Amino acid sequence: MTRVRPAGELKAEVHAPAVIVGAGACGLGAAIFLRDLACETWVLERDAVARGSTALSSGFIPAAATAAQRALGIEDSIEMFAQDIQAKAAGMAAAHLVKAYTQAIVPALDHLQHEHGFEWEILDGFLYPGHRRRRMHTLAQRQGQALIDRLLQRAQALEATVVTNAQVVDLYLDEQQHVRGVGVLRPDQQVETIGCDALLLACNGYGGDRDLVRQHLGAMQDALFAGHQGNDGSAVKWGQAMGAAVADMGAYQGHGSWAVPQGILLTWAIMVEGGVQLNQQGLRFHDETHGYSEAAAAVVAQTDALAWCVFDDPILKLAGSFPDFVSLQNTGGVVMAQDIDALAGRIGCASETLAHTLNWPLESSDNFGRKFKRRLQAPFYAVKVTGALFHTQGGLDIDAHCRVRRSEGTCLPNLWAAGGAARGVSGPEVSGYLSGNGLLSALAGAWIAAHEIAQYLGGQHA
Ligand SMILES: Cc1cc2nc3c(=O)[nH]c(=O)nc-3n(C[C@H](O)[C@H](O)[C@H](O)COP(=O)(O)OP(=O)(O)OC[C@H]3O[C@@H](n4cnc5c(N)ncnc54)[C@H](O)[C@@H]3O)c2cc1C
Nearest CA to ligand 1 atom 52: 57
Helix (H, G, I), strand (E, B) or coil at 68: helix
Run of H or E residues at 255: strand 252-259
Our answer on whether the CB atom of 344 is closer than 6 Å to any ligand 1 atom is no
* CA 415 to centroid of ligand 1, rounded, Å: 20
Nearest CA to ligand 1 atom 3: 57
Our answer on whether the CB atom of 168 is closer than 6 Å to any ligand 1 atom is yes
Nearest CA to ligand 1 atom 45: 22
Nearest CA to ligand 1 atom 5: 57
Atom of ligand 1 nearest to the CA of 60: 8
Nearest CA to ligand 1 atom 38: 203
Q: Give the pLDDT score at 277.
A: 98
Of the residues 19, 204, 389, which should be mutated to test ligand 1's pocket, given the most ligand atoms within 8 Å of the CB? 204
* CA 233 to centroid of ligand 1, rounded, Å: 12
Our answer on whether the CB atom of 227 is closer than 6 Å to any ligand 1 atom is yes
* CA 87 to centroid of ligand 1, rounded, Å: 25
Our answer on whether the CB atom of 258 is closer than 6 Å to any ligand 1 atom is no
Our answer on whether the CB atom of 198 is closer than 6 Å to any ligand 1 atom is no
Our answer on whether the CB atom of 265 is closer than 6 Å to any ligand 1 atom is yes
Q: Give the pLDDT score at 313.
A: 96
Alpha helices in 242-288 (DSSP H): 269-272
Written as tens digits, the pLDDT of the chain (462 aa) is 899 999 999 999 899 999 999 999 999 999 999 999 999 999 999 999 999 999 999 999 999 999 999 999 999 999 999 999 999 999 999 999 999 999 999 999 999 999 999 999 999 987 888 999 999 999 999 999 999 999 999 999 999 999 999 999 999 999 999 999 999 999 999 999 999 999 999 999 999 999 999 999 988 999 999 999 999 999 999 999 999 999 999 999 999 999 999 999 999 999 999 999 999 999 999 999 988 999 999 999 999 999 999 999 999 999 998 889 999 999 999 999 999 999 999 999 999 999 999 999 998 888 899 999 999 999 999 999 999 999 999 999 999 999 999 999 999 999 999 999 999 999 999 889 999 999 999 999 999 999 999 999 997 654
* CA 149 to centroid of ligand 1, rounded, Å: 14
Q: Which amino acid is at 316?
A: L
* CA 335 to centroid of ligand 1, rounded, Å: 31
Of the residues 47, 236, 430, 439, which should be mutated to test ligand 1's pocket, given the most ligand atoms within 8 Å of the CB? 439
Nearest CA to ligand 1 atom 14: 57
User: How would DSSP label each residue in 77-145?
Assistant: -HHHHHHHHHHHTTT-S-HHHHHHHHHHHHHHHHHHHHHH----EE--S---TT-SS--EEE-TT-SHH
What class does CATH assign to 252-389? alpha beta
Q: Which of 264, 322, 271 shows the shortest CA–CA distance to 294?
A: 271
Our answer on whether the CB atom of 420 is closer than 6 Å to any ligand 1 atom is yes
Our answer on whether the CB atom of 27 is closer than 6 Å to any ligand 1 atom is yes
Nearest CA to ligand 1 atom 41: 168
Nearest CA to ligand 1 atom 37: 203
User: How would DSSP label each residue in 40-53?
Assistant: -EEEE-SSSS--HH
Atom of ligand 1 nearest to the CA of 438: 19
Q: Give the pLDDT score at 461.
A: 52
Our answer on whether the CB atom of 22 is closer than 6 Å to any ligand 1 atom is yes
CATH number of 3-248+393-461: 3.50.50.60
**Buried residues in 282-294 as b, exposed as e (16+ CB within 10 A):** bebbbbbbbbbbb
* CA 358 to centroid of ligand 1, rounded, Å: 38
Residue spans per domain, the chain: 3-248+393-461, 252-389
368's CB contacts (< 8 A; 6+ apart) are 284, 285, 286, 287
